[in-house]
C-alpha cells in the first residue's frame, strides 16, 4: 500500500513536469498566440499590448503557468487559434474515435498475441511455431505506414473489400485496427513465447514433471502463471507505442481521432490544440505505466522484494 | 552475415570450411573484407547522391508514371516524370544521414546520462530517472511531431526530435550496466588510487560499455530511419523537393488507383533497409554476447 501511494505520488510529479513541458511548448512556439491572430506589421503596437494584456501574456511566466494550469484542471485548454472553438470541445469530439481504435487494436494485439505465443511455445518447432515466428518477424520489419499502404492498395483499391478512409460505418474500423495492432501483436506474441519457453525449461518445471504432476497442470497452473509478468509489463509499454502509432495510422485512414487532429494542429500551427493533446496523451501514458507497475506487483510477488529504482 | 562479423573477431572460432585459405587469408576473412568494401562503396554512393541535385530534380512531364525497366529510367518515373532510381538513392542517402545523426546524438546523450545516473550518487540517479520518465510520458512520435511544430518541419528538426526521444531507453540500459560495472575490483582500485568519478567513467566505463552501445546504435539507426520516413510521410520531415522515402510513400498514396509501383519501391527499400540493420544489430549482439546466440 505504501508503495502504491509512493508510485502514484511519483506519477503526479511526472505529470507536473510534463505539464511544464507542454506549457513551455505553447510559449516558445514561434509566432505567439498574439501574432497568430494579429499581423504585427500592420497592427499598431498599443493594440498588440492591449491584446497581450487580455490574454495575460504580460504577466510573469510563473503566473501565466498557474493561470494555464488552473484552466487545465477545470477542463479549459483555451481556444483553437484556427476556428476559435474551445479546445476541450475539439478533443471531446475526437477522443471517442481514438479510444475505439486504440482499444480495438489493444484487444487484437493481446487477444491474439498471448494465445499465439503460448501455443507457439508449447509446440516449439512445429509448423505453427515456425509460421508464427516467420510472420512476427516479417510484421516487425515492415513499418506500419508501409503495411497500411499495402493493405489499402490490395484490400481497398484492388479488391474493394474494405473502405480505406473515413469513419462513417463500423467496417471502417477494420483496416486501421489491423494496421495499428500489427506491431504490438508481433511483440506480444514474441514476448509471450519467450517467457513461456523460459518457464518450460525452468528447474521447478522439471521438478514438477519428476514428481509426476500432469502436463496439463504444469502448463496451466505453473508455467503460464509465471510467464505472466513480462506480458503484463509489456502491456503498459504497448499503450505508449499504440498512442504514438495512432498519429500516423489515423492520418492514413483519415480517421477523425486525436492523432489526425494533432497532426492537423501542428501543420496549421494551432498551438493550444497541439499542447492540450500532448498533455492528454502524456496523462494517458503516465496512468498506463502506473497501473502497469501496480498490476505487475499484484501478479508477481518476486518484484515486491526487489529494490525499486525510485521511491 | 554471421560468418562475416565473426571473422572480424580475432578469437572467434572459425568453421572448418572457413579456415581454408586463399592466398594465405582465410575464406571467411575474404568474405568479411569484400562485404565491408561493398558496404563502404554503397554507403559512399548513398551519401553522395543527395548532393547531386540535378539528377533527382530533373522533371519530364511527357514521361510520368513509367514502370520499372523503362528505357533511360531503370526504376521508372514518378508523377512529375522524375527518375525513381535517383530519387530512391537520394532518399536512402537522406535516411542514412538522419539515422547516423540520430544514433550519434542519442548514444552520446544516453551514455552521459546513464553513467551520471548509475555512478554519481543517489540524487543524480533520482534526477536522471525523473527526466527519463518525463521523456517517456510522451509517445516518441508525438515528441517528434511537437518538435516539428516548434522548429518548423525539416530534416534538422527530425534529427533533434528523434535523438531527444530515443536516448531515454538507451540511458536506462546504460545505467543498469554501470550499476554492475561499478562493483568491479578495478573500479575500487581506481577509487583507492584517488581517481575522480569523471576519470573513472571515461577510462573504465565508456570502453566497457562499447559493445552494448554499438548494438543499440545500429538499432537506433533503423528506428530513426523508419521514424524519419513516418514524419516525412506526414509532411513534417523532409520538405519538397528534398527526396525522402517517406514523402515518396505519401506521394505514391495519392496515385494508388493509377499505379502501385512507387509505393512498392519506396516501401520495399525501406523495409529491406530496416531488416538489414536489424540483422546487423542482432549479429553484433550475438558476437558480443555468445550466450544469446546459443539459447535459440
Q: Is B267's CB within 8 Å of A251's CB?
A: no
Q: Is B129 on the interface with A (CB under 8 A)?
A: yes
Tell me how crowded residue A34 is: count the other CB atoms within 10 A of its CB: 17
pLDDT tens per residue, range B117-162: 989 988 999 999 999 988 888 876 777 777 776 777 788 888 888 8
Distance separating alpha carbons of residues B32 and B8, to the nearest angstrom: 7
ipTM over 0.90: no
Residue B97: half-sphere exposure toward Cβ, Cα within 13 Å: 21
Q: Is A99 on the interface with B (CB under 8 A)?
A: no
Q: Is A263 on the interface with B (CB under 8 A)?
A: yes
Q: What is the pLDDT of residue B14?
A: 43
* DSSP secondary structure letter of residue B184: S
Measured between CA atoms, the residue of chain B closest to residue A260 is: B234
What's the grid cell of residue A5?
Answer: 501511494
Q: What is the DSSP annotation of B224-279?
A: HHHHHHHHHHTTSSSPTTS--HHHHHHHHHHTTTT-SHHHHHHHHHHHHHHHHHHH
Write the residue in A25, A141, A244 that is nearest to B271 by C-beta.
A141
A203-222 burial, b if ≥16 CB within 10 A, otherwise e? eebeebeeeeeeeeebbeeb
Q: Is B263's CB within 8 Å of A14's CB?
A: no
Measured between CA atoms, the residue of chain A closest to residue B222 is: A141
CA distance B162 to chain A (A): 13
> What are the residue ranges of helices labelled H in chain A?
2-28, 33-37, 45-55, 61-73, 87-122, 127-141, 144-151, 174-200, 203-210, 215-217, 224-252, 258-267, 271-299, 301-305
Nearest partner of B3 among B21, B24, B29, judged by Cα? B29
pTM, two decimals, is 0.80
pLDDT tens per residue, range A233-268: 788 778 878 888 888 899 889 899 998 888 888 777
Write the residue in A25, A149, A248 that is nearest to B263 by C-beta.
A149
Residues in chain B within 8 Å Cβ distance of A263: 145, 234, 236
pLDDT tens per residue, range B64-78: 777 777 777 777 787
Distance separating alpha carbons of residues A16 and A10, to the nearest angstrom: 10
Q: Is B180 on the interface with A (CB under 8 A)?
A: no
Distance separating alpha carbons of residues B190 and B287, to the nearest angstrom: 29
Residues in chain B within 8 Å Cβ distance of A25: 146, 149-150
Nearest partner of B86 among B100, B72, B98, B101, judged by Cα? B72
Q: What is the pLDDT of residue A309?
A: 44
Residues in chain A within 8 Å Cβ distance of B133: 10, 14
Q: Is A310's CB within 8 Å of B129's CB?
A: yes
Residues in chain B within 8 Å Cβ distance of A278: 138, 142, 146
Write the residue in B130, B145, B149 that is nearest to A17 by C-beta.
B130
Q: In chain A, which among 142-161 make CB contacts under 8 A with chain B?
A: 142-143, 145-146, 149-150, 152-153, 157
Q: Is B139's CB within 8 Å of A18's CB?
A: no
pLDDT tens per residue, range A185-231: 999 999 999 889 888 888 888 888 888 888 888 888 888 888 877 88
CA distance A211 to chain B (A): 27
What's the grid cell of residue B285?
Answer: 549482439
Chain A interface mutation, best of B117, B123, B142, highest count of A Cβ atoms under 10 Å = B142
Residue A29 has pLDDT above 70, yes or no: no
Write the residue in A21, A266, A282 that is nearest to B149 by C-beta.
A266
Please indicate whether residue A71 or residue A114 has the higher confidence score (pLDDT): A114
Q: What is the pLDDT of residue B277?
A: 85
* DSSP secondary structure letter of residue B73: B
Q: In chain B, which among 211-250 make CB contacts under 8 A with chain A?
A: 226, 229-230, 233-236, 246, 249
Amino acid at each position: 500500500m505504501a508503495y502504491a501511494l509512493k508510485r502514484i505520488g511519483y506519477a503526479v510529479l511526472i505529470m507536473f513536469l510534463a505539464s511544464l513541458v507542454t506549457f513551455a511548448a505553447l510559449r516558445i512556439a514561434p509566432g505567439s498566440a498574439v501574432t497568430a491572430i494579429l499581423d504585427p506589421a500592420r497592427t499598431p503596437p498599443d493594440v498588440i499590448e492591449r491584446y497581450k494584456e487580455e490574454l495575460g501574456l504580460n504577466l510573469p511566466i510563473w503566473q501565466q503557468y498557474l493561470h494555464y494550469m488552473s484552466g487545465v484542471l477545470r477542463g479549459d485548454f483555451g481556444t483553437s487559434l484556427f476556428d476559435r472553438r474551445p479546445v476541450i470541445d475539439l478533443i471531446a469530439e475526437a477522443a471517442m474515435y481514438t479510444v475505439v481504435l486504440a482499444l480495438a487494436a489493444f484487444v487484437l494485439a493481446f487477444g491474439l498475441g498471448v494465445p499465439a505465443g503460448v501455443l507457439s511455445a508449447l509446440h516449439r518447432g512445429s509448423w505453427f511455431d515456425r509460421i508464427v515466428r516467420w510472420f512476427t518477424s516479417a510484421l516487425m520489419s515492415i513499418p506500419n505506414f508501409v503495411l497500411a499502404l499495402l493493405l489499402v492498395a490490395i484490400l481497398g483499391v484492388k479488391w474493394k473489400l474494405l473502405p480505406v478512409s473515413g469513419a462513417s460505418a463500423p467496417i471502417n474500423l477494420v483496416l486501421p485496427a489491423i494496421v495499428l495492432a500489427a506491431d504490438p501483436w508481433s511483440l506480444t506474441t514474441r514476448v509471450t513465447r519467450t517467457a513461456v519457453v523460459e518457464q518450460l525449461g525452468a528447474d521447478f518445471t522439471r521438478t514438477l514433471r519428476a514428481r509426476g504432476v500432469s502436463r496439463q497442470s504444469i502448463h496451466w497452473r505453473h508455467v503460464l502463471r509465471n510467464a505472466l509478468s513480462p506480458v503484463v509489463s509489456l502491456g503498459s509499454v504497448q499503450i505508449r507505442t499504440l498512442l504514438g502509432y495512432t498519429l500516423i495510422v489515423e492520418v492514413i485512414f483519415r480517421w477523425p481521432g486525436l492523432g489526425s487532429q494533432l497532426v492537423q494542429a501542428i501543420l496549421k500551427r494551432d498551438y493550444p490544440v497541439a499542447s492540450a493533446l500532448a498533455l492528454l496523451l502524456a496523462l494517458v501514458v503516465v496512468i498506463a505505466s502506473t497501473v502497469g507497475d501496480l498490476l505487475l506487483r499484484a501478479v508477481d510477488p518476486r518484484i515486491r522484494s526487489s529494490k525499486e529504482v525510485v521511491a | 552475415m554471421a560468418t562475416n562479423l565473426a571473422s572480424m573477431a580475432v578469437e572467434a572460432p572459425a568453421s572448418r570450411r572457413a579456415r581454408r585459405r586463399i592466398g594465405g587469408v582465410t575464406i571467411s576473412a575474404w568474405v568479411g573484407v569484400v562485404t565491408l568494401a561493398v558496404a563502404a562503396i554503397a554507403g559512399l554512393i548513398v551519401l553522395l547522391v543527395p548532393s547531386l541535385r540535378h539528377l533527382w530534380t530533373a522533371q519530364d512531364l511527357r514521361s510520368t508514371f513509367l514502370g520499372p525497366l523503362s528505357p533511360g529510367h531503370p526504376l521508372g518515373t514518378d508523377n512529375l516524370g522524375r527518375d525513381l532510381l535517383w530519387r530512391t538513392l537520394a532518399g536512402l542517402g537522406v535516411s542514412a544521414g538522419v539515422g547516423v545523426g540520430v544514433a550519434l546524438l542519442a548514444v552520446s546523450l544516453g551514455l552521459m546520462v546513464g553513467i551520471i545516473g548509475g555512478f554519481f550518487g543517489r540524487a543524480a540517479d533520482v534526477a536522471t530517472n525523473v527526466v527519463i520518465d518525463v521523456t517517456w510520458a510522451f509517445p516518441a512520435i508525438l515528441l517528434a511531431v511537437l518538435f516539428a511544430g516548434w522548429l518548423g518541419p525539416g530534416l534538422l528538426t527530425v534529427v533533434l526530435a528523434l535523438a531527444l526521444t530515443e536516448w531515454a531507453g538507451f540511458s536506462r540500459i546504460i545505467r543498469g550496466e554501470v550499476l554492475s560495472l561499478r562493483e568491479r575490483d578495478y573500479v575500487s582500485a581506481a577509487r583507492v588510487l584517488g581517481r575522480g568519478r569523471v576519470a573513472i567513467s571515461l577510462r573504465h566505463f565508456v570502453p566497457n560499455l562499447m559493445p552494448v552501445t554499438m548494438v543499440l546504435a545500429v538499432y537506433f539507426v533503423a528506428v530513426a530511419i523508419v521514424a524519419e520516413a513516418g514524419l516525412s510521410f506526414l509532411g513534417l520531415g523532409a520538405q519538397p523537393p528534398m527526396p525522402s522515402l517517406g514523402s515518396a510513400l505519401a506521394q505514391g498514396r495519392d496515385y494508388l488507383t493509377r499505379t502501385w509501383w512507387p509505393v512498392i519501391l519506396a516501401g520495399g527499400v525501406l523495409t529491406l533497409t530496416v531488416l538489414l540493420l536489424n540483422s546487423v544489430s542482432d549479429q553484433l549482439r550475438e558476437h558480443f554476447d555468445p550466450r544469446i546466440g546459443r539459447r535459440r
